[in-house]
Amino acid sequence: MSDLKGKIAWVTGAGSGMGEASALALAAAGAEVVLTGRRQNLLESVAQRIRAAGGKAHVQAGDITDAGRVEEIARWIAGALKRIDILFANAGANIPDRQWTRLKPQGVDEVVSANLNSAFYCISAVLPAMRAQKDGVIIVTASIAGRIISNLAGTAYTAAKHGVVALCHTVNREECIHNIRCTALLPGEVATPILDKRPVPVTAEDRAKMVQSEDIADLVRYIAGLPPRVVLNEVWVTPTWNRAYVADLGLKP
């Protein structure tokens, strides 16, 4: 496991799923972790687990679709902890009414704000500190929906995640001179609570075959620990039993 001692990591969507697992993995590797999400109680629970294992964790709850609150948290980190080495901008959301026939403007706003705007806000907030220290790793949860257009993810989510992938590449184009690296993380189906928003329920059997939050956490920890000369611009990670591929073979997913 890479040694992240002395590093400050900020994880959004840290109360559950991939964010929770990644916060635990980063802390286990030695990073001091700042946990952000809307639900204070879940964040406190994750922080307690980190501290019980001998790690350091801070809770900074907030809605990352609120640009002002994002800036406040980033300023707190830079002021209290003196640096920001790692950002895992993981928070995101989807809605059940996701196809054109059912999608409403308020649904578009909700999905684009949660997935694309929030990534803009978080990255913009950490760049000044990372530029000043001439170092930084940014990992953003996109999705294979950011590269593959399908009906499953829905219109707004697909468009937003395409934007997230493009956003990550622009960071590398402009900020490489400051030794800042950005990875677009493109998971396929991961067994997280976001599956509960699917129009068609996902069975426990299918969830067990999917990528798990701990798998993503291992990858996030690995990316965070890479030498500064290396950037993983974009990473796909999907289940071996890929339900889309299985369906294409004419079999039951």
Residues assigned a catalytic role: 157
Q: What is the dihedral of CA 99, 103, 108, 114, to 10 degrees?
A: -60
Phi and psi torsions of 190, nearest 5° = -120, 140
Q: Own/partner pairs for 113-118, CB < 8 Å, 24+ apart?
A: 113/65, 114/65, 114/160, 115/157, 115/160, 115/161, 115/164, 116/160, 116/161, 116/163, 116/164, 116/167, 117/65, 117/67, 118/12, 118/64, 118/65, 118/70, 118/89, 118/91, 118/92
